[in-house]
Structure 1
Amino acid sequence: MQNSQSHRVIAVYQPSTIPAYQGNPLIEALPPLNSFVDDLSALKGKLRCTPDDIHQNGVDRAHSICRVIDDFFQPLSQYIQLHERISLMIRGGYVGRNPDTGDWARHIQNGYERVLSGDLKAIKFTEVYSTAQSMALIGCSGNGKTTAMKQLLSLYPQVIYHPDTNLEQIIYLKIDCSHDGSLKELCLNFFRAIDRALGTSNYEKQYSMSKRPSIETLLAAMAQVANAHALGVLIIDEIQHLSRSRSGGSEKMLNFFVTLVNTIGLPVILVGTPRAREI
């Protein structure tokens, strides 16, 4: 499959026809709203076979077929619904974080208060509201959840640079829950993923090398970094690995995810196997 967008692009603004999106540079810098059929057609892979492949010996032909199938992607009907949800979540989350109305700056200021206090509920501006949504994608292991998410996200550039504001806007970020199942390691995975997206090493060094940072400190910093880079959607994969005991209890885990969506204004997609239902 060929990506329709590169990893990092310079912002080019295209006026939106949807009133709620108009005048929001974080939305108008996104790729235009194409029909789902057009986008999925761009994702559809091609079987690259030649007549000569038929005449290969059995061993070579088996390897050739395996490689062709690995590279092939066939969008299914369920992907249309998933594609729509992702598009709505990214754009909808930015409605309440418009830099031109001051909403984004107020989110940043509230985040600064949380970093200072270590309290995820701390706020400075009470009039800030969230337009973010969350979603869970649950399915058996190996049925294509991660592959589908990866292919659909490839329709977007991961980073858009806004020269006027010197903002590196991260459209999406995907992180995996580590096997030890701790919220702390989840936060550190977040900072590593931010560094990979931006091509830096600043965030991982800053937070992994500090002396025993508390979970609250890491969560507040994670939320602030997400706001500072106007993160569009956070995908947390392998959520079934998240352990209640190592994460400080189910209440802390629930508060963390709810805060990201309702207070920070960050859309979140949780992906996991049926074992994740209890979380």
Structure 2
Amino acid sequence: MSLPDNFVDAVYIDPGLERYRGNPLIEALPPIMDLQDLKVKLTGKVEFNPKDCYVKGHIRAHEISALLDDFFQPLSIHKQLEEKISVMIRGGYVGRNIADGSLNQKMQEGYQRIMSGATNDFRFTQSNSTAKSMSLIGCSGSGKSSTINRILATYPQVIYHQKYNFIQMPYLRIECPSDGSLKSLCLNFFREVDRTLHTGYEEKYARKRHSTEVLLSLMGQ
């Protein structure tokens, strides 16, 4: 199978925590970064040639602008933000393990015991969500988007699990619609999924003029 350029084949490593072990969706993610890893991966790659100091002023202005674009110095607040995103991504996968159907199996076995009269004290386990959320608020131009983009760039866009025939998107970055409508947000979601996975969800669902409620359900699916 020939994978698109933004796909990577899953390589599984020990995630370092018992809570994460045995879950391919977590084991296929890059290792959890410590402070040194963060400095290496987030620091901007600034290339400077001392000879550029002696070029004409109108050329030197472009060189200076390029330095500003590439420069990024990780601070303690960036480390905190990276840790929060790391916990969010991995924690969200704890309740979604493609390697085993242990929860479903336990519920099925309990159901069979109840129906056969073998037990009367069994209680069905609720599937508790492990998904987390976070807000990042700041003034326009303070570097929120550039910081988020640099952190997300440490993760592959798409991971293909050949063993399970499963496609994993560790993150999906969606722009909020200017009109603030839920329907526009849904279409932006499908558009970004299509761009990442090379699918055709936007055309498929936009053509049918689904209601907002239906589009939201399709997003969840």
Segments of structure 1 that go 5 or more residues without pairing to the other structure are 1-5, 107-124, 225-279
Q: CA deviation at 1:141?
A: 0.6
Distance change >3 Å, CA 73–CA 207, structure 1 → 2 = same
Structure 2 CA distance for partners of 1:8 and 1:18, relative to 1, 3 Å = same
Structure 2: state its 5+ residue gaps: 106-123
Preserved CA contact (<8 Å) 1:96 1:104: no
Task: Look up the match of 2:205.
Answer: 207
Q: Which position in structure 2 is the counterpart of 1:152?
A: 151
TM normalised by structure 2 equals: 0.84
Q: For 1:209-265, what per-residue CA distance to the aligned partner results, in whole angstroms no more than 9, with x for missing partners? A: 11x2111101111011xxxxxxxxxxxxxxxxxxxxxxxxxxxxxxxxxxxxxxxxx
- Relative CO higher for 1 or 2, CA cutoff 8 Å, sep ≥ 6? 1
Q: Is the 8 A contact 2:38 2:79 kept in 1?
A: no
The reply to whether residue 49 of structure 1 matches residue 62 of structure 2 is no
**TM-superposition CA deviations, 1:11-31 (whole Å, max 9, x none):** 011123311101001000111
**1:77: which partner in 2?**
76
Please name the residue that 1:15 is paired with: 14
Structure number with bigger Rg: 2
* Aligned CA-pair RMSD: 2.0
User: Deviation digits for residues 18-56 of structure 1, max 9, x if unmatched?
Assistant: 111010010001111231331232221133121211111
Superimposed CA distance per residue, residues 77-125 of structure 1 (whole angstroms, 9 cap, x where no aligned partner): 210000000000000000011122327989xxxxxxxxxxxxxxxxxx9
* Kept in 2: contact 1:99–1:105 (CA 8 A): no
Matches within 5 A, 1:128-277: 128-200=127-199, 202-210=200-208, 212-224=209-221
* 4+ runs deviating over 3 angstroms: 103-106
Contact kept? 1:187, 1:222, Cα under 8 Å: yes
Q: Greater strand share, 1 or 2? A: 1
SS of aligned partner of 2:19: helix
Distance in 2 between the 1:44 and 1:197 partners? 26
Cα distance in structure 1, aligned partners of 2:203 and 2:104: 26
What's the counterpart of residue 66 of structure 1? 65
Amino acid aligned to 1:19? E
TM-score (norm 1): 0.67
What's the secondary structure of 1:46's corresponding residue? coil
8 Å CA contact 2:98–2:164 kept in 1: the answer is no
The percentage of counterpart residues that share the same residue type is: 53
Counterpart Cα distance in 1 of 2:148 and 2:133? 15
Cα distance in structure 2, aligned partners of 1:17 and 1:68: 38
Is contact 1:97-1:103 (8 Å) kept?
A: no
